[in-house]
């Protein structure tokens, strides 16, 4: 039996919660995170499609956008890497979903609240909480400005450190987190046993893992994740300084070469020479196209400026 795919991979996460017939799993997760006074009973997936050939590109966000039965919208994302600007990007995606409701000439009062939910593999915040909730409130007396925006972060890396109070308060969410974090069958069984919804989530994950097409997509997505790890590690190591243009271009050339080696293995001399002589614009375009090009010839035969 093949090992199960990792539900923390954003592609697997999206398929698990947005496939037709799996809406009840998303309903359970939303209830676990939001703990609404009146339980969510149904959702409509707004963005079920996958990005096709761009699936390796880590700049493509595989979020799950859904409309709840009361009209509210939710944007749910699995985010395993922390990078510069990630919190601003979260706000931008919230804003896109909020603004996207407003057709030309429509009244603002028709805008429904939007909830952003971010399941994290690395901490974004210094507060150490497993589950954090953010709203738009007055600083001094906590008056709520509007219920239109609410953001939740669920730090999966903090699961083992949660307090007894948090464990009781977020009991259902703790089970989902344990399911996502499970690294073997024993841990997965412990996270799901006795809970029909969690057992169904495990069965659906097994079905996805047995699908050759899904495994192929997940493997391609993993390539993009490895490249993103390289990019982040190199940026932290090199410590790019804004304004040092030549040093930055040279660093980008080296980074593109390392990405190419991860993707294609040993590089022929002409590739090394081409990258070394590339302009800033060319290097940036090669970096953008690297994930979608099927071969070195295809990558470097694409027209570039400069």
- The residues spanned by each domain of the chain are 10-211, 240-301
Question: Which among 7, 1, 2, 5 has a CA at the least distance from the CA of 179?
Answer: 7
Predicted local confidence at residue 31, as pLDDT: 97
More confident position, 306 or 78: 78
Paired tokens of 87: 């919190």
- Please, are residues 62 and 217 in contact by the beta-carbon 8 Å criterion? no
Predicted local confidence at residue 304, as pLDDT: 47
Rounded distance between C-alpha atoms, residue 292 and residue 286, angstroms:
10
DSSP line for 63-114: -EEEEETTS-EEEEEEE----TTHHHHHHHHHHHHHHTT--TT--GGGPPPE
pLDDT band at 72 (very low <50, low <70, confident <90, very high): very high
Rounded distance between C-alpha atoms, residue 52 and residue 46, angstroms:
17
Rounded distance between C-alpha atoms, residue 305 and residue 291, angstroms:
19
Render pLDDT for 117-139 as a digit per residue (tens, 0 to 9): 999 998 888 777 899 999 999 99
Encode 203-218: b = buried (16+ Cβ within 10 Å), e = exposed.
ebbeebbeeeebeebb
Q: Which of 148-152, 203-207, 266-270 has the lowest mean pLDDT?
A: 266-270
Angle 85-86-89 from CA coordinates, rounded to 5°: 85
More confident position, 42 or 226: 42
CA dist list (Å): 161 to 172, 242, 256: 16, 38, 39
Pairing relationship of beta strands 43-45 and 73-79 according to DSSP bridges: unpaired
CA dist list (Å): 101 to 31, 86, 89, 109: 23, 24, 19, 11
Question: Which among 242, 231, 262, 268 has a CA at the least distance from the CA of 83?
Answer: 231
Paired tokens of 135: 């709203």
Predicted local confidence at residue 260, as pLDDT: 84
Rounded distance between C-alpha atoms, residue 272 and residue 260, angstroms:
10
Q: What is the mean pLDDT of residues 212-235?
A: 72
Predicted local confidence at residue 53, as pLDDT: 60
CA 152 to chain centre: 14
pLDDT band at 232 (very low <50, low <70, confident <90, very high): low
Predicted local confidence at residue 60, as pLDDT: 65
Predicted local confidence at residue 241, as pLDDT: 42
Q: Is the pLDDT of residue 62 over 60?
A: yes
pTM of the predicted model, to two decimals?
A: 0.74
Rounded distance between C-alpha atoms, residue 219 and residue 9, angstroms:
10
140's enclosing H/E stretch is: none
Question: Which among 7, 4, 13, 2 has a CA at the least distance from the CA of 184?
Answer: 4
131's enclosing H/E stretch is: strand 131-137
Predicted local confidence at residue 64, as pLDDT: 94
Q: What is the mean pLDDT of residues 237-253?
A: 55
């Amino acid at each position: 039996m093949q090992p199960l795919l990792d539900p923390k991979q954003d592609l697997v996460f999206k398929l698990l919660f947005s496939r037709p017939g799996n809406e009840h799993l998303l309903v359970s997760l939303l209830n676990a995170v939001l703990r609404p006074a009146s339980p969510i009973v149904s959702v409509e997936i707004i963005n079920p499609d996958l990005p096709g050939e761009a699936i390796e590109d880590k700049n493509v966000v595989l979020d799950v956008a859904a409309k709840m039965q009361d009209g509210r919208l939710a944007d749910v994302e699995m985010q395993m890497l922390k990078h510069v600007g990630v919190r601003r990007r979260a706000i931008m995606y919230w804003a896109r979903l909020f603004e996207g409701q407003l057709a030309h000439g429509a009244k603002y009062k028709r805008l429904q609240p939007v909830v952003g939910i971010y399941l994290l593999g690395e901490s974004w915040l210094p507060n150490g909480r497993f589950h954090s909730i953010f709203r738009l409130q007055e600083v001094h007396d906590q008056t709520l400005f509007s219920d239109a925006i609410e953001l939740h972060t669920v730090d999966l890396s903090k699961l083992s450190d949660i307090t007894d109070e948090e464990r009781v308060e977020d009991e259902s969410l703790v089970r989902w987190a344990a399911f996502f974090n499970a690294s073997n069958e024993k841990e997965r069984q412990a996270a799901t046993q006795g809970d029909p919804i969690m057992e169904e989530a495990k069965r659906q994950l097994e079905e996805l893992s047995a699908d050759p097409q899904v495994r192929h997509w997940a493997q391609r997505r993993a390539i993009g994740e490895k490249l993103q790890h390289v990019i982040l590690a190199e940026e932290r190591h090199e410590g790019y300084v804004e304004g040092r243009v030549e040093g930055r271009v040279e660093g980008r050339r080296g980074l593109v070469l390392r990405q190419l080696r991860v993707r294609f293995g040993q590089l022929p001399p002409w590739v090394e020479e081409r990258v070394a002589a590339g302009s800033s614009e060319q290097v940036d375009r090669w970096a953008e196209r690297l994930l979608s090009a099927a071969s070195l010839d295809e990558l470097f035969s694409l027209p570039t400026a400069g």
